[in-house]
């Protein structure tokens, strides 16, 4: 089974405007509400590709109830911990020629809720996949990912971590199956600006030396590079299309890679499905559906186990 953890999920209120004028009344051209959060995004794309997962995390208030209901409509299993105070945050995403985001804070997470999450994670079994994605809320210890992986160490669970800087560096000793920094995040970890593919590959290999198995580096319009545990480096530019949205593209790439790997056992197929999923989401106003992803593969879906 696949499990995703999102500590601070959200409802994303996505609106489109012809122009955003500060200090004036602005009227929307389009508006939608979607479930949000990096782990949530991974679960939704997995569901769209026919793979079951369990979304773990915390929810509160009427927005938390709505989040659960929406994820159920998208075919996602949830096992959230209910918080008695506060409410699941609302994030506002504004598309008006450029993207502007206003992210809510989310509810405080008490110690008893953290212990309840640990209990759910303790039930994971050998061969399961655990996706840890996104930042840690200020109300939790900054080393939460490290605490979780230390607790689960030696149990045969495959970890996928999509996080930044120290949050990622500190878990490499637990040998995550996959990590997915983007080009800029990879450079930040080493205090460098990486401008060439050779530099990116060299620094991805440094992360492998520190413990990572597969390193997938996204580079926005320049595509992606996979430095696998074994085998040759894979690099490709993305499919052509109009970029409408950057939110969730990296999460879609993670989900596509995992679906491709589980479906074929091939890192190359996993990379290509990840690339297609990330691009399809970037070409849409929200997370891509199965048809949009498959259309970018250029190969029959069944060759990817779909």
Q: Which residues are catalytic?
A: 251
Task: Please report the sign of the dihedral spanned by the C-alpha atoms of residue 38, residue 33, residue 222, residue 265.
Answer: positive
Task: Please report the sign of the dihedral spanned by the C-alpha atoms of residue 253, residue 259, residue 260, residue 261.
Answer: positive
- Give the strands of the sheet with 99-102, arranged side by side: 30-36, 10-16, 89-95, 99-102
For residue 86, list its beta bridge partners.
none
Cα distance between residue 18 and residue 29, in whole Å: 7
Helix (H, G, I), strand (E, B) or coil at 52: coil
| Joined tokens for residue 222 | 């320049």
Closest to 27 in 3D by CA, of 36, 38, 16: 16
Cα distance between residue 227 and residue 223, in whole Å: 14
Report DSSP letters for 71-111, one per residue. HHHTT-EE-PEEESSS--EEEEEEESSSEEEE--------H
Q: H/E element holding 226? A: strand 224-227
């Amino acid at each position: 089974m696949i499990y995703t953890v999102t500590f601070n999920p959200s409802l994303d209120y996505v609106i489109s405007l012809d122009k955003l004028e500060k200090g004036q009344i602005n009227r929307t051209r389009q508006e939608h509400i979607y479930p949000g959060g990096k782990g949530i995004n991974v679960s939704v794309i997995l569901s769209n590709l026919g793979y079951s997962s369990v979304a773990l995390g915390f929810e509160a208030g009427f927005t938390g109830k709505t989040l659960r209901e929406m994820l159920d409509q998208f075919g996602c299993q949830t096992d959230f911990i209910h918080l008695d105070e506060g409410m699941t945050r609302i994030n506002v995403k504004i598309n008006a020629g450029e993207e502007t985001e206003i992210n809510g804070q989310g509810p405080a997470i008490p110690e008893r809720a953290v212990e309840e999450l640990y209990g759910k994670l303790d039930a994971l079994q050998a061969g399961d996949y655990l996706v840890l994605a996104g930042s840690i809320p200020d109300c939790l210890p900054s080393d939460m990912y490290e605490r979780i992986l230390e607790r689960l160490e030696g149990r045969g669970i495959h970890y996928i971590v999509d996080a930044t800087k120290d949050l990622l560096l500190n878990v490499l000793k637990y040998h995550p199956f996959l990590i997915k920094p983007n080009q800029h995040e990879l450079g930040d970890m080493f205090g460098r600006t990486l401008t060439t593919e050779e530099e990116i590959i060299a620094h991805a290999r440094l992360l492998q030396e520190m413990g990572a198995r597969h390193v997938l580096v996204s580079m926005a319009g320049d595509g992606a590079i996979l430095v696998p545990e074994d085998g040759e480096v894979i690099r490709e530019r993305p499919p052509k299309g109009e970029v409408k949205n950057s939110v969730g593209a990296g999460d879609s790439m993670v989900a596509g890679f995992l679906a491709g790997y589980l479906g074929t056992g091939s890192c190359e197929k996993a990379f290509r499905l990840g690339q297609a999923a990330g691009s399809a989401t970037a070409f849409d106003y929200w997370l891509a559906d199965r048809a949009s992803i498959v259309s970018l593969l250029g190969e029959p879906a069944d060759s990817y186990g779909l």
